[in-house]
Structure 1
Amino acid sequence: MKPHALMLGAGLALASAAHASDHRTPAPEDARAYIISPSDGETVSNPVTIVFGLEGMGIAPAGTEAENTGHHHLLINTELDSVDLDANLPATDQIVHFGGGQTQVTTELPTGEHRLQLLLGDANHVPHDPPVTSDPVTITVE
């Protein structure tokens, strides 16, 4: 499955056109997302399975307002500092939404090097405060 196809798959919530609220949803200071696999520096072949992890919070589908929960967004070849943390995350080929509460994806990535990073969003696809992110992982697809 191509990354842009992930945004349109059954059960995936897309970013709403609604504006972000005046404040971001709080997250515990020790919460963190992480990529379980593939590991940083790994060489993989298609299809690539990316497994997401989360500590200090729980997963809930988009639209679910529950304390200390959120859902994953996968940044592909996108630097975190280029993302507006005060707004709804857009659904693009580089910011893939997992609004159904998914914790992994198997997808096709073009041959070459790719930077992957997770960013948790709240019920409305807005990053938490502080943002809950993973360390970036760089992989090479053969």
Structure 2
Amino acid sequence: MKRFATILSAAILLGSTAMADGHRSAAPEGAQAYIISPADGATVSNPVTIVFGLTGMGVAPAGTEVENTGHHHLLINTDPATLEMDTSLPATDQIVHFGGGQTQVTRELPAGTHTLRLLLGDLNHVPHDPPVMSEAITVTVGFDDVTAPRRHLCAKVGLR
């Protein structure tokens, strides 16, 4: 019985690996991800709340196999042309996974200008074919207090 369970576990693992490497779920025509807020060009303060939108598909947690669904990944200062679209998206500080099916996040971003974009992934974190991706928006995160710009400038030039 133990041997059967080991073989079954290996088969499941190999099957999910095969799906995550090279298999892309089809996206329905017209499906679109978008960022509801903040608005493109907005100046925001920390913590920043980013609200996700999706039309033409549904949101489902990672690992949930339901046709025409996926979950969001937030690309922060990441050019999607640098991503492998036929494998699972890596989880990094710049590629943030929302495998629980979340539709918004509140997080700290460093002061400065950032480019944000959403990319939908399937049950295995693999982008759909074609990719369901939002337009990029740019937001500027302001300094938290009036002395922060001076501290930032002083740190850049090595002063205290």
Q: How far did residue 22 of structure 1 move?
A: 3.1
For normalisation by structure 2, the TM-score amounts to 0.77
* Separation in structure 1 between the aligned mates of residue 77 and residue 139 of structure 2, nearest angstrom: 11
- In structure 1, the gaps of 5 or more residues are 1-16
State the superposition RMSD in angstroms: 1.2
Asked if 1:105 is matched to 2:139, the reply is: no
Query: Secondary structure of 1:139's match?
Result: strand
Equivalents in 2 of 1:90, 1:21: separation in Å? 13
Which deviations, in whole Å up to 9, do the C-alpha atoms of 1:32-56 show, x marking residues without a partner? 0000000100000000000000000
Match of 2:134 in 1: 134
Rounded to whole Å, the distance in 2 between the matches of 1:134 and 1:43 is 20
- Residues 1:71 and 2:62 aligned together: no
Aligned counterparts of 1:112 and 1:38: Cα–Cα separation in 2 = 15
1:50-89 CA-to-partner distances (Å, cap 9, x unmatched) read 0000000000000000000000000000011011101100
What aligned pairs does 1:5-44 form with structure 2 within 5 A after superposition?
Answer: 18=17, 20-44=20-44
State TM-score, norm by structure 1. Answer: 0.86
The separation in 2 between residues aligned to 1:131 and 1:31, in whole angstroms, is 9
- Aligned-residue offset at 1:97: 0.1
Give the fraction of aligned pairs with identical amino acids, expressed as a percent. Answer: 72
Instruction: Answer 1 or 2: higher relative contact order, Cα 8 Å, separation at least 6.
Output: 1
| 2:110 alignment partner, SS class | coil
Partner of 1:58: 58
Largest Rg, 1 or 2: 2
Point out where structure 2 has 5 or more consecutive residues left out of the alignment.
Answer: 1-15, 143-160
SS in 1 for 2:134: coil
In structure 2, distance between residues paired with 1:47 and 1:80? 25
- Preserved contact between residue 76 and residue 114 of structure 2 (Cα < 8 Å): yes
1:29 Cα deviation after fit: 1.8
How many residue pairs end up in the alignment?
A: 126
- 2:123 is aligned to 123
